[in-house]
Amino acid sequence: MRQATRTGGGARLFRLLIYGLILVSAAAQFALIPVMPVYAHRLGLSGFQQGMVLGATGLAALAVSLPAGTLSDRFGARRLTLAAGLLMAAAMLAQALAGSFPALLAARLAFGAGYAMVWTAGLCWLADAAGGPQALGGSVASAASGALTQHLGLAVPLLATAASFAVITGTLGSLRVLPGAAAPRRATAGLRTAARDREVIGAAAAVVVAGLSTGACALLVPAQLHAAGASTGQIGLDFAAAGMLFAAGSALTAAAGRRAVCLPVICGGILAVIAALSLGALSTASLAIIVMLCVATAARSVLWTVSYPLAAGAAGRGGTGMGAAVGLLNGIWAATAVLGPLAAGLAAEHFTARGAFGLTAAICAAALAVTAAMAWPALHPARRAAPHRRDPDLADGGMLLRSGSQRHGSPS
């Protein structure tokens, strides 16, 4: 087993491998979106079944995220991260061989469990290097998956992804990392304490908006563009362009530093998502759908980049472990990832795609009202009993902010 220290080539290799695992996990998650119409045609999937497949990752993450965060705080993140890599490799192999709806759904559920573990325990293991690859992975994967599927079929990209997971995880597991890189974090307060904090509530509302809008766009945008005559390759390029906007928005938000980590910024991001979805509710012309996708994706980059350090800072002040806070947000994202595609699929079947976008915008407006209520004391300090103090030296929130985006928002 090779020694990986905090400095020198071992540390660089360690970072590269973690970056690679996160990037490939993001790629595998987002690569499904532009090829969903191919699965729908090949397996005869209904709109509701497509929503189930797209929401399977979120359903598994809903069950896994909170336990993964707690176990990461208690026992350290290394073992969970390595197990997640192997699980995702097996899941991608199963997806490549899936010839029916139940098999495809089971493969996506298994992938979702590994995905949640990586994005909870993995982020805690290397919090200051978690976000950049995700944004890049989503944009590259969206373009590549559509083109590769068009020319090579569905199985080849999936088998290549499975092999990538296996190689990266095996190499990562062969490194001996100093205990501090994945040491347990002892929490002095329960998760309920963090969940009552207004900043955690605001961050949770941001995740709800980002997750629901991601699910709606992931299901409806490819379907609308495909119906208008766009190929899987063209749809992939559209998502790739949106992914690049996500990366740029995340980088700009992170560059603003701690000034961006506040509830008013989250309110602005939610408002931009509502405006984008309203455009889809007014028109399903291809140009309107593409503009909606790009604007909503850019707005989600702000929400993802701000929400995690905001919640991590609040959890740190309250004595809750960072793993628990990240697990809480990931669990909320998972719930919206499940409900978003399902609700969008049902709304599109019983009404229209425009109605589905409008319904999603209305739910986001309710989340905006909650976030604004949480932000009100900060905007009117005279109405508070005591000023709220932010610890400028809180390491976890700062590391997560420097990492850029933390999730599932780019792509889709």
User: What's the pTM?
Assistant: 0.67
Number of H helices and E strands in the chain, helices first, is 16, 2
List residues bridging with 4 in a β-sheet. 177
Asked if residues 213 and 340 have their Cβ atoms less than 8 Å apart, the reply is: yes
Domain extent listing, the chain:
2-402
Q: What is the residue-level pLDDT of the chain in tens, covering all 412 positions?
A: 554 445 455 667 777 787 778 778 877 877 777 778 888 888 888 888 888 888 788 788 888 888 887 777 777 778 888 899 999 999 999 988 888 999 999 999 999 999 888 877 776 666 533 333 344 334 334 334 444 444 445 566 778 888 888 888 888 888 765 444 444 555 445 556 656 778 888 999 999 999 889 888 888 898 889 888 888 778 888 888 888 888 788 878 877 877 888 899 999 999 999 999 999 999 989 999 999 999 999 999 899 888 877 887 777 666 666 667 777 888 887 788 777 777 777 877 888 888 889 988 999 999 999 889 888 776 655 444 444 444 444 444 444 554 444 444 444 4
Asked if residues 68 and 327 have their Cβ atoms less than 8 Å apart, the reply is: yes
**SS3 assignment for 269-311:** HHHHHHHHHHHHHHCCCHHHHHHHHHHHHHHHHHHHHHHHHHH
The two three-digit tokens of residue 47, written as one number: 């709109």
DSSP letter for 14, please: H
Looking at the domain 2-402, which fold is it? Answer: Growth Hormone; Chain: A; (1.20.1250)
Asked if residues 35 and 146 have their Cβ atoms less than 8 Å apart, the reply is: yes
Asked if residues 24 and 138 have their Cβ atoms less than 8 Å apart, the reply is: no
Task: Please measure the distance between the N-terminal and C-terminal CA atoms of the chain and give it in whole angstroms.
Answer: 39
